[in-house]
C-alpha cells in the first residue's frame, strides 16, 4: 500500500467514525456511486481498491472509466457495494484523492492540448504535495504531460545553487560527469553560462524566466547542440508561445502545485 493512503485514513477515521457507528446498523449494506460533477480528466482510480481493502474490503468495486479519460459532467466514475459503514467511513478519503488527482490530470491535459502540433513536450516538476508525488506524477501522465525526474535520485539537474556550491559551470559539469553516468542537465542564466555549458558538452539546458523572444534567440544560439527546456512562470495563456520557440520542453510547476480540485460527489443508496 502507498504509505500516504494509510496516513490519510488514519488522520480522518482515527479511533473510529463516531457518526456512522452511532446511527448506522453494522450489518446494513449499501451501494455508492462516484460522479463527476464537472468536465474533467480522470486520475486516481487506483487508490479506491487500496482504501477499501485497508478497511476490511467491499463486496464489489466497479470502475466505469480509466485514468486519462475525459469525462463530461454527471458521468459515473465508479460504483462500490458493501457494508454501509465501510462506504461512509471511506467516503471523504476516496473523494480527497479523486478530486485532487483528477484536478492535476485536468490541468495537465489543458497544458498538453495547448502545445499540440509543435515539437515541444510539457514536463512536470518536483513541486508536488509532500507524500503525494508518486500519485500526482501518475496524474500528470494521465493528463498527457511527461514526467520529469521523480526525485533527486534518478536524474542530474544542476541548478544555480549547485553551480555556486561547485565553483562554476565548468566545475559543476566536470564533477558531475566524473561521478555519474546520468545525462547532464544544467540551468544557465546568462549567455556566458550558456556558452560555457555548451563548451563542456552539457546534454540538456534549462533556461529560466526568459520571454518567448529571448528564448527564441537563445535557442538559435544553441543550434541543436543540446536539448532545451524552458521554465519560469509559463501559464496556459503563454505556453503555446514558448512551445513555438523551438524548445524541446517546457516545465510547469503549476500543474502539481496549483491545480484546483475538481468536483466529484458520492451518492449512497441502501441495497
Q: Return the active site residues.
A: 92, 127, 159, 187, 208
What would the grid cell of residue 74 be? 454527471
Contacts 24+ apart (CB under 8 A), 188-197: 189/160, 191/218, 191/221, 193/163, 193/169, 194/218, 194/221, 194/222, 196/168, 196/169, 196/170, 197/169, 197/173, 197/226
3-state SS assignment for residue 22? helix
Distance CA 135, CA 125 (A): 13
Question: What is the 8-class DSSP label of residue 126?
Answer: S
- Secondary structure (3-state) at 198: helix
For the chain, the straight-line distance linking the first and the last C-alpha, in angstroms and rounded, comes to: 29
- What angle (nearest 5°) sits at the alpha carbon of residue 235, between those of residues 233 and 241? 100
- In which region does residue 98 sit, left (phi positive, over 0), alpha (psi from -120 to 50) or beta (all else)? alpha
Largest CA distance in the chain: 73
Grid cell listed for 6: 494509510
Amino acid at each position: 500500500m502507498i504509505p500516504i493512503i494509510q496516513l490519510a485514513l488514519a488522520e480522518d477515521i482515527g479511533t473510529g467514525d463516531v457518526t456512522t457507528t452511532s446511527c448506522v446498523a453494522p450489518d446494513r449494506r449499501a451501494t455508492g456511486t462516484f460522479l463527476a460533477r464537472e468536465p474533467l480528466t480522470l486520475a486516481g482510480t487506483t487508490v479506491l481498491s487500496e482504501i477499501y481493502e485497508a478497511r476490511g474490503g467491499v463486496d464489489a468495486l466497479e470502475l466505469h472509466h480509466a485514468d486519462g479519460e475525459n469525462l463530461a459532467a454527471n458521468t459515473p466514475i465508479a460504483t462500490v457495494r458493501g457494508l454501509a459503514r465501510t462506504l461512509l467511513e471511506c467516503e471523504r478519503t476516496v473523494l480527497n484523492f479523486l478530486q485532487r488527482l483528477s484536478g492535476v490530470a485536468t490541468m495537465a491535459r489543458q497544458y498538453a492540448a495547448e502545445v499540440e502540433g509543435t515539437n515541444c513536450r510539457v514536463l512536470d516538476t518536483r513541486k508536488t504535495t509532500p507524500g503525494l508525488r508518486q500519485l500526482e506524477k501518475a496524474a500528470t501522465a494521465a493528463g498527457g504531460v511527461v514526467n520529469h525526474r521523480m526525485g533527486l535520485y534518478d536524474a542530474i539537474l544542476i541548478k544555480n545553487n549547485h553551480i555556486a556550491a561547485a565553483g562554476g559551470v565548468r566545475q559543476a559539469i566536470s564533477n558531475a560527469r566524473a561521478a555519474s553516468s546520468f545525462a547532464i542537465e544544467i540551468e544557465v542564466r546568462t549567455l556566458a553560462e550558456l556558452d560555457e555549458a555548451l563548451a563542456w558538452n552539457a546534454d540538456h539546458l534549462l533556461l529560466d524566466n526568459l520571454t518567448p523572444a529571448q528564448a527564441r534567440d537563445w535557442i538559435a544560439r544553441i543550434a541543436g547542440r543540446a536539448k532545451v527546456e524552458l521554465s519560469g512562470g509559463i501559464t496556459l495563456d503563454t505556453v503555446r508561445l514558448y512551445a513555438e520557440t523551438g524548445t524541446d520542453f517546457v516545465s510547469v510547476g503549476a500543474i502539481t502545485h496549483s491545480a484546483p480540485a475538481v468536483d466529484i460527489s458520492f451518492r449512497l443508496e441502501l441495497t
